[in-house]
């Protein structure tokens, strides 16, 4: 390992931009390895802020706060993609920043992301869906028939199904474009989807990369519902193709850190790359209990320029997102704590709650992963958990 990539060792201080649950789990992983952690987050009360060694309560673009974070930390990462890229550039004048501003900027802008993924297709063999930029009403007139029906998505700030609409006709596009305030959007052709998979990958500053096993995802109302690994529908061929494409993408970005790439597997078995998240991902939470190295420990290793960890999965796993809805399972408007004791009585149950103050419908409050000797056993425990928690299976 060259001096250029000499590692940062505990008890050095690592920084994270963002106070959410991904930041909280990063803090826990970093502290377990002996690092100190500073969080920059405007909210004085946040999941990551509670767990960190120090909190800088400031806006993500506050120059003074960024200087304070950069000067007190050897390396800084981000726990969600909407941190201003300019803030990461400023931080890079003080500390090692992973992932870098340019990588995060691509993932923040659906047009830049699609352009980048299309550019990788010659090497990766996996193209994005057919698409078109909709920036003005004239663009709607020139939509080709083959792009409809489609999904209209805002170019920036969309996640968990927000900022998007299904459109079947040009009139639908006009109405959706107007409803989104006329901001620049991307129209994507709706494809015959068999299932969705995500590939979690990590790359070090020395260019070495690792790819985790393929995760098969089920969404409800635009929010991840379950992740199953190994994916029951994923063929070895599809898995190999997606993993190879992920390696190409992470190398082409010259990325350092953990990157999650979502793919669609179509009904004819072909693969399409959907989008990427420049951080650990909801679908990677199973790694905390089922893999040698969790996605968060991997994030620590990458930013500290340490050797990447073993991605081997030692147990089949099914992860269930726990949304605030289960606090209101009886239909009442007064939240009641779910039956955690019953849930934890299930074999292989690993419960992770995020320390959020108030449960709200649709809010990610935690997750539970079931690990078992066989996938069928893990799936049986998931079904039992849904019954206990009042979640329609």
Annotated binding site for ATP: 110, 153, 158-164, 188-191, 196, 219, 274-275
Residue written as tokens 């390992």?
A: 1
Distance in angstroms (rounded) separating the CA atoms of residues 250 and 199: 11
Q: DSSP letters along 188-245, please?
A: EE---EEEEEEEEEEE-TTS-EEEPPPEEEEEETTEEEEEEES-TT--HHHHHHHHHH
The Cβ-side half-sphere exposure at 240, using a 13 Å CA radius, reads 3
Residue 11: is the preceding peptide bond cis (ω within 30°)?
Answer: yes
Distance in angstroms (rounded) separating the CA atoms of residues 103 and 198: 18
Distance in angstroms (rounded) separating the CA atoms of residues 49 and 269: 44
CB atoms closer than 10 angstroms to residue 63 = 12
β-bridge mates for residue 259, sequence order = 201
Distance in angstroms (rounded) separating the CA atoms of residues 201 and 260: 6
Distance in angstroms (rounded) separating the CA atoms of residues 258 and 308: 10
Record the tokens describing residue 102, joined without a space.
């340019």
Asked whether the beta carbons of 8 and 75 are under 8 A apart, the reply is yes
Annotated binding site: 110, 153, 158-164, 188-191, 196, 219, 274-275
Asked whether the beta carbons of 54 and 79 are under 8 A apart, the reply is no
Record the tokens describing residue 286, joined without a space.
């199973």
The Cβ-side half-sphere exposure at 250, using a 13 Å CA radius, reads 31
């Amino acid at each position: 390992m060259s001096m250029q990539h000499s590692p940062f060792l505990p008890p050095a201080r690592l920084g994270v931009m963002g106070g959410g649950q991904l930041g909280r789990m990063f803090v826990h992983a970093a502290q377990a390895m002996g690092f100190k952690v500073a969080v920059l987050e405007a909210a004085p009360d946040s999941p990551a802020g509670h767990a960190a060694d120090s909190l800088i309560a400031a806006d993500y673009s506050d120059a003074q706060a960024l200087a304070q974070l950069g000067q007190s930390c050897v390396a800084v990462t981000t726990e969600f993609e909407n941190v201003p890229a300019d803030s990461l550039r400023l931080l890079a004048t003080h500390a090692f920043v992973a992932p870098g501003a340019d990588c995060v900027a691509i993932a923040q802008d659906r047009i830049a992301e699609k352009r980048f993924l299309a550019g990788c297709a010659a090497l990766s063999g996996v193209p994005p869906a057919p698409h078109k930029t909709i920036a003005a009403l004239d663009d709607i007139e020139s939509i080709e028939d083959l792009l409809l029906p489609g999904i209209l998505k805002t170019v920036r700030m969309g996640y968990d199904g927000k900022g998007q609409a299904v459109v079947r006709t040009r009139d639908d596009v006009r109405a959706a474009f107007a409803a989104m305030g006329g901001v620049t959007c991307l129209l994507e052709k709706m494809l015959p989807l068999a299932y969705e998979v995500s590939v979690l990958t990590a790359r070090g500053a020395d260019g070495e990369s690792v790819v985790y096993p393929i995760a098969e995802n089920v969404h409800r109302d635009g929010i991840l519902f379950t992740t199953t690994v190994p994916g029951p529908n994923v063929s070895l061929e599809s898995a190999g193709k997606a993993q190879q494409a992920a390696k190409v993408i992470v190398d082409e970005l010259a990325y350092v850190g953990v990157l999650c790439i979502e793919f669609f597997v179509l009904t004819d078995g072909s693969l399409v790359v959907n989008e990427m998240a420049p951080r650990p991902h909801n679908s990677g939470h199973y790694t905390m209990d089922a893999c040698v190295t969790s996605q968060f420990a991997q994030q620590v290793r990458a930013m500290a320029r340490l050797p990447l960890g073993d991605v081997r999965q030692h147990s089949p796993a099914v992860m269930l997102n726990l949304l605030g809805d289960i606090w209101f399972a009886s239909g009442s408007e007064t939240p009641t704590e779910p039956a955690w004791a019953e849930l934890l009585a299930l074999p292989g149950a690993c419960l992770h709650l995020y320390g959020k103050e108030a449960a709200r419908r649709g809010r990610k409050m935690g997750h539970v992963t079931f690990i078992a000797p066989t996938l069928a056993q893990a799936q049986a425990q998931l079904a039992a958990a849904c019954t206990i928690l009042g979640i329609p299976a």
